[in-house]
């Protein structure tokens, strides 16, 4: 029996705790976000075109590329392991570090969403209280970090239940209400559906939105960090990618259209958050009592999304440190196998940025620059992933790949090339300053590029000053 069948890597048995459904739910938790629905619903029927564009230029390519890479190199580590195979330690370390460092400034945005959403289950006015916001953000952040402390099994159980209750069920409820609304004969705010209405309007003002669409499905590679925790990575991973992609696309498109059919676009423009749109939706449907329960469920969905992004890259960084590419501090794990040092470091940095975000509104413009940097950093990650899947077809053609992108070399270039084009284009338009940014465009672009460079370059510094003492001895104790 082969190593793949017995769940061994290099002859060393590895603990398998994730099934097909659990693996798929990791991606769903990382990608499916109800907070994006109202902003997409503003575009009416053309949101279908935007979603199709995002699926064709990113979701499908990253799903296919991730499936081939994870089944060909299922040794764990996600993007680090994949890019390392193609471009060496520098490339793999850079890809992983960019994925990890972009989280540091992204954490406060999802944390503020969690706190403001929970306020609708209590008193909406609480969202205007800085102390309430910061308190709930810290409870959610450190609580999620505490769950990750107890390792893969605890995180998986929490994620499985949380993504169903917090993302899938709310999305299905919104879809069902949309269907009921149509069946009741109530007036729809959307005009009749036509092919022309589904075509997105692409011009200078909507170009920056393209970067949002491409990265709307960012996170589909999260399951790759957990490839070794499955019974059969070669079979389970591509199936999980397909299952998660179907769930994400169906829930996202139908729920967005349900909101667009009920809530006028001007109401969505004026809404400051997803729960205001949800509140309008359920009051219009005559079910205001559902607002508070939905707020709790959507809050849970936000926490699960946070958990997926919190643990995945942290596990990858722990693997990098274990290979001696970072100081021993980053390799500290507990008896559950959780990378405790990385978890604490990112929690401390994220908490500090959250503190500034809540209590210093004057840093808003700087924060928008940081937010733009997260887009650029993710683009670097995905360009390297798409480049890797192409290069490995040439450099390691004989490596067994139980799942291969169909179509031979033409297929790999079509999928990888399409993904690279979409991601590079997103990087370029992501440099365009938003209309509300008052400083000059040159300052904005320069700041974003400088910040992106500073957050992407640390791997090169670590490797430059790498010491033999950083590598853990064969016995596992330094």
Residue 300 has pLDDT above 70, yes or no: yes
pTM higher than 0.85: no
| Length, in residues, of the chain | 478
For residue 273, is it within any domain? yes
Q: How far apart are CA 460 and CA 417, in angstroms?
A: 27
* Tens digit of each residue's pLDDT (9 = 90 or more) over 17-30: 567 777 777 777 77
- Span 445-457, mean pLDDT? 87
CB 215 within 8 A of CB 208: no
* Tens digit of each residue's pLDDT (9 = 90 or more) over 175-230: 888 888 888 777 778 888 788 888 888 777 677 777 777 777 877 766 665 655 66
Q: How confident is the model at residue 7 (pLDDT cuts 50, 70, 90)?
A: very low
pLDDT of residue 226: 63
Give the angle 80-401-19 at the CA atoms, nearest 5°: 70
- Span 146-165, mean pLDDT? 75
Measured CA distances, 447 to 96, 367, 379, 440, 456 (Å):
22, 11, 17, 11, 14
Q: How far apart are CA 230 and CA 423, in angstroms?
A: 30
CB 117 within 8 A of CB 272: no
- Give the SS3 label for residue 257: helix
CB 111 within 8 A of CB 306: yes
Question: In degrees rounded to 5, what are phi and psi of residue 161?
Answer: -70, -45
For residue 261, is it within any domain? yes
CB 26 within 8 A of CB 212: no
- Integer distance in angstroms from the first to the last C-alpha of the chain? 35
Lowest mean pLDDT among 14-18, 78-82, 463-467: 14-18
For residue 4, is it within any domain? no
Q: How far apart are CA 455 and CA 348, in angstroms?
A: 17
| Domain of residue 97, CATH code | 1.20.1740.10
CB 229 within 8 A of CB 152: yes
For residue 477, is it within any domain? no
Cβ neighbour number for residue 167 with a 10 Å cutoff: 27
The percent of residues in the chain predicted with pLDDT above 90, rounded, is 9
* Tens digit of each residue's pLDDT (9 = 90 or more) over 52-72: 888 888 888 888 888 888 888
Q: How confident is the model at residue 435 (pLDDT cuts 50, 70, 90)?
A: low
- Span 310-318, mean pLDDT? 77
Residues whose CB is less than 8 angstroms from the CB of residue 6 and which lie 6 or more positions away in sequence, other chains included: 13
Measured CA distances, 58 to 51, 215, 372, 416 (Å):
10, 8, 19, 10
For residue 3, is it within any domain? no
Among candidate residues 141, 99, 123, 121, the one with its CA nearest the CA of residue 358: 141
pLDDT of residue 149: 81
* Tens digit of each residue's pLDDT (9 = 90 or more) over 88-118: 889 989 998 898 888 887 788 788 888 888 8
Q: What is the DSSP letter of 9?
A: E
pLDDT of residue 1: 34
Which of the listed ranges 147-161, 221-235, 277-291, 387-401 does the model predict with the highest average pLDDT? 387-401
For residue 476, is it within any domain? no
Q: How far apart are CA 96 and CA 314, in angstroms?
A: 9
Lowest mean pLDDT among 174-188, 255-269, 449-463: 255-269
Among candidate residues 42, 17, 36, 32, the one with its CA nearest the CA of residue 261: 42
Record the tokens describing residue 445, joined without a space: 């672009």
Within 13 Å and on the Cβ side, how many CA atoms surround 76? 21
For residue 12, is it within any domain? no
Within 13 Å and on the Cβ side, how many CA atoms surround 401? 20
Torsion of CA 306, 312, 313, 316, to 10 degrees: 160
Among candidate residues 295, 329, 248, 186, the one with its CA nearest the CA of residue 58: 248
**Average pLDDT, rounded, for the chain:** 79
For residue 105, is it within any domain? yes
The percent of residues in the chain predicted with pLDDT above 70, rounded, is 85
- Cβ density class 388-407: b for 16+ within 10 Å, e for less: bbbbbbeeeeeeebbbbbee
Residue ranges of the alpha helices (H) in 285-339? 291-322
How many domains does the chain divide into?
A: 1
* Full residue range of the structural domain in which residue 155 is found: 18-467
- Give the SS3 label for residue 113: helix
Residues whose CB is less than 8 angstroms from the CB of residue 260 and which lie 6 or more positions away in sequence, other chains included: 41, 42, 43, 44, 45, 47, 189, 190
Cβ neighbour number for residue 233 with a 10 Å cutoff: 30
């Amino acid at each position: 029996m082969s190593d793949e069948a017995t769940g061994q890597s290099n002859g060393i048995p590895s603990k398998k705790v994730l099934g097909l459904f659990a693996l798929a739910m990791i991606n769903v938790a990382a990608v499916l976000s109800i907070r994006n629905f109202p902003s997409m619903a503003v575009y009416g029927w053309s949101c279908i075109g935007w979603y199709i564009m995002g699926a064709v230029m990113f979701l499908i390519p990253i799903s296919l590329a991730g499936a081939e890479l994870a089944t060909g190199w299922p040794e764990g580590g996600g993007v680090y392991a994949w890019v390392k195979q193609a471009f060496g330690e520098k490339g793999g370390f850079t890809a992983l570090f960019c994925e990890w460092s972009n989280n540091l400034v992204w954490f406060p945005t999802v944390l503020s969403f969690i706190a403001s959403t929970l306020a609708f289950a209590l008193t909406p006015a609480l969202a205007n209280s800085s102390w309430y916001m910061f308190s709930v953000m810290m409870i959610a952040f450190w609580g999620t970090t505490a769950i990750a402390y107890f390792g893969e099994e605890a995180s998986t159980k929490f994620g499985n239940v949380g993504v169903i209750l917090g993302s899938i069920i709310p999305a299905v409820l919104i879809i069902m209400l949309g269907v009921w609304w149509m069946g009741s004969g109530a007036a729809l705010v959307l005009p009749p559906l036509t092919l022309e209405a589904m075509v997105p309007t692409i011009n200078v003002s909507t170009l920056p939105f393209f970067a949002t669409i491409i990265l709307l499905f960012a996170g589909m590679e999260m399951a790759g960090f957990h490839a070794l925790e499955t019974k059969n990575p070669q079979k389970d991973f591509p199936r999980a990618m397909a299952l998660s992609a179907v769930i994400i696309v169906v829930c996202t498109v139908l729920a967005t259209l349900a909101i667009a059919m009920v809530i006028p676009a001007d109401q969505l423009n004026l809404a400051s958050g997803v729960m205001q749109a949800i509140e309008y939706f359920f009051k219009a449907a005559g079910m205001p009592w559902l607002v508070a329960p939905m707020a709790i469920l959507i809050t849970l969905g936000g926490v699960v999304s946070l958990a997926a992004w919190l643990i995945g890259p942290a596990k990858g960084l722990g693997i990098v440190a274990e290979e001696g590419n970072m100081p021993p501090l980053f390799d500290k794990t507990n008896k559950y196998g959780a990378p405790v040092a990385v978890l604490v470091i990112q929690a401390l940095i994220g908490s500090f940025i959250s503190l500034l975000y809540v209590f210093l509104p004057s840093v808003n413009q700087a924060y928008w620059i940081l937010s733009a940097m997260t887009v650029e950093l993710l683009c670097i990650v995905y360009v390297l992933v798409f480049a890797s899947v192409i290069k490995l077809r040439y450099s390691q053609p004989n490596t067994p790949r139980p799942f291969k992108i169909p179509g031979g070399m033409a297929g790999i270039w079509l999928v990888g090339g399409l993904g690279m084009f979409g991601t590079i284009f997103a990087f370029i338009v992501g440099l365009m300053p938003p209309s509300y940014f008052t400083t000059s465009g040159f300052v904005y672009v320069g700041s974003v590029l400088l910040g992106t460079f500073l957050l992407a370059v640390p791997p090169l510094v670590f490797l430059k000053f790498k010491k033999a003492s950083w590598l853990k001895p064969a016995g596992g104790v330094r």
